[in-house]
A and B are shown apart, each in its own frame.
Chain A
Amino acid sequence: MMRAWLLLSPAVVFLGVFFGVPIALVAATSFVGKGGVIALDQYRRFLLDGFYRSFLTETILVSVVTTAACVVLSFPVAYQLARARAAMKGVLLTLLIAPLMVGDVVRGYGWLIALGDFGVVNQMLMRLGLVDKPVRLIFTPTGVVLGLVEVLLPFMVLPLAAAIGGIPPALEEAARSLGARHARVFRKVVFPLSLPGLAAGVVIVFALSMGSFAIPLFLGGVKVNMVGPLIFQQATLTVDGPFAAAVSCVLFATSVLLLVAYAWVGSALRAEAGGR
């Protein structure tokens, strides 16, 4: 037991010193008001000033839409991944995981080219006859959502595929042999049993979207107000440490609440699945 503690503590201490302590210092900085006194000025500015509050509401709105789109798109991908044969599964996993490793700068840059007024997306829309002239996509919330969905979809697909993979195919076959149609099998068997994976994906995608930085920076510019770029801009360009700290604390508190909800929902769903 002694040895186990010795092995666990370096990682725990490392995160404590370089993650916990710096964030505690940020929290302390956020309460610095005008003239260096302890006050809630920064929070008042962020949450009550209409201009700054729009950053929070727009971030929440973009994150809700992004998460919803990921839920819809992830089911077919996750289902196919979970039920694929071993060789195919390797290919599909590579296609899902490699983009995560490539990173946001490369993909944000790719979207910047793709979403331009004469980019591939507009060319496709025009060729399909959906629009007559190019639609503005860059520096709009739609463009940011498109980029975020693309970047975050694997974080929804992977836990969902793990959950669907845990459902015995025999269960679906049984439902079908008893006369249930595909849609009904999905609604009554697959969907309820994949809920723990879906819940995990929803929390991860929503949290990552709330704290996203590169995609809103590249695709939103100064036209889409999101919290991540705001923190960066306040910290490095405006050099308003206390205000950047307050915005960070609001974002961080939201994420901690989500994390707790995630652990709680996860264990509740597991308990329910075990009880059945």
Chain B
Amino acid sequence: MNDRSILFRAVTVAIYAFLLLPIAVVVVASLNDGATLAFPPKRVSLRWFGAFLTSRQFIEATWVSLEVAVVTAIVALVLGTAAAWALARRAMPFGFIALQYLTSPLILPGIVVGLALLQFAARLGASGSVGVLVIGHTVVALPYAVRAMHAAFTQYDETLDEAAATLGARPLRTFFRVTLPLVKPSLIAGGVFAFAISFSNIMISAFLVGPGTTTLPVRMYNYMEFSNDPTIAAIATLVVIAMFGAVWALHKTVGLGGFFR
């Protein structure tokens, strides 16, 4: 290895360190025994994890977030898989535009989605409901499902479906018994990403939560405004462990390669 490639390595390592800095800081801060955010901690303790587990507010918010994220992932996957199949497997007029449209919430500002649904829900008298949260989260999670499934169906070998048809399987049976099992890795990946996008969302939730439907990220932000004890760091650490675990498991089982082109 020459000097140039060592320098190149050092630069990339430094950039990854920068990328992971806030996450590392949160994890270390969560182990602090004191009631303020001393860094690095003087004495190590797990008491703030206990503080989270015994807080009714935070546990309630965690359940709301889990409920919303699970429903969002299912709705986004169903809508996204159907649309991606049509776009990838059939030459649709305006297919390219339809794909751009379905993935546009990736780029268009989520904050506007939040405001728009806030005003929309107020008109329909549905403010602060779990349903409105699910709808808002599905808008921003749908692109991830569409992308994952579109990539899978584009690479799909159609002769397998034809073989099933030749053997007498009806289209619906072919889809559920042949096509879907073969794209299962992408379904799992798309579902996990949609879940995570919903679970960690604050931009849209901030507008749509109501009494009894406060999600975990919004609850964390509200708590931060009047207290700086490390309870938030403990919750954040659990989220970090869960998300890194999920992404690592995806990498080990279905691979991460194709989904972020």
Contact = CB atoms under 8 A, between A and B. Distances in A.
Contacts of B244: 94, 98, 102
Given A159-B261, A210-B109, A255-B107, A11 B207 contact: no
Contacts of B106: 204
B129 interface: no
Interface string B1-41: 00010001101100110111111111001000000010100
A4 B92 CA distance: 8
Size bin of chain A's contact surface: 35 or more
Interface string B46-80: 00000000000000000000000000000000111
Contact of A93 (B24, B243, B246, B251): B251
Contact of B19 (A5, A8, A11, A99): A99
Interface in B72-111: 78-80, 82-83, 85-87, 89-90, 92, 98, 100-102, 104-111
A93 B240 CA distance: 16
A144 interface: no
B190 interface: no
Interface string A1-22: 1011101101110110011011
B185 to A, nearest CB: 14
Contact of A99 (B8, B20, B114, B221): B20
Contact of B37 (A89, A104, A107, A113): A113
Contact of B21 (A5, A103, A120, A241): A120
Given A102-B240, A110-B25, A258 B202 contact: no
A8 B236 contact: no
B112 interface: yes
B205 to A, nearest CB: 10
Given A97-B260, A114-B22, A12 B113 contact: no
A73 B21 CA distance: 15
Nearest to A91: B251
Interface stretch (B138-146, B157-165, B176-184): B138-146
A10 B79 contact: yes
A153 B16 CA distance: 10
A113 B193 CA distance: 27
A211 B232 CA distance: 25
Contacts of A11: 79-80, 82-83, 102, 142, 146
Contacts of B15: 73, 76-77, 153
B239 interface: yes
A120 to B, nearest CB: 6
A112 B207 CA distance: 23
A26 B119 contact: yes
Contact of A105 (B90, B102, B221, B260): B221
Contact of B39 (A5, A120, A162, A232): A120
Given A77-B12, A94-B256, A213-B110, A114 B233 contact: no
A153 B19 contact: yes
Among B19, B105, B206, B221: residue with most chain A CB under 10 A: B19
B260 A158 contact: yes
Interface string A247-262: 0100110011011001
Nearest to B238: A106
Contacts of A29: 119
Among A111, A116, A150: residue with most chain B CB under 10 A: A150
Given A4-B86, A11-B142, A210-B109, A110 B115 contact: no
A7 B193 CA distance: 22
B116 A25 contact: yes
A191 to B, nearest CB: 16
Contacts of A104: 200, 202-203
Interface in B222-261: 224, 232-233, 236, 239-240, 243-244, 246-248, 251-252, 255-257, 260-261
B191 interface: no
Interface string A180-216: 0010000000000000000000011001101101100
11 contacts: A4-B92, A23-B112, A23-B113, A73-B18, A90-B256, A92-B16, A94-B248, A97-B247, A113-B29, A211-B109, A248-B111
Interface of B: 4, 8-9, 11-12, 15-16, 18-26, 29, 37, 39, 78-80, 82-83, 85-87, 89-90, 92, 98, 100-102, 104-120, 123, 135-136, 138-139, 142, 146, 171, 193, 196-197, 199-203, 206-207, 217, 220-221, 224, 232-233, 236, 239-240, 243-244, 246-248, 251-252, 255-257, 260-261
Given A23-B116, A99-B23, A232-B114, 20 more contacts: A15-B102, A15-B105, A18-B117, A19-B113, A21-B120, A22-B119, A77-B12, A94-B248, A97-B256, A100-B196, A106-B23, A150-B21, A211-B111, A228-B109, A231-B112, A232-B206, A236-B118, A245-B119, A248-B112, A256-B108
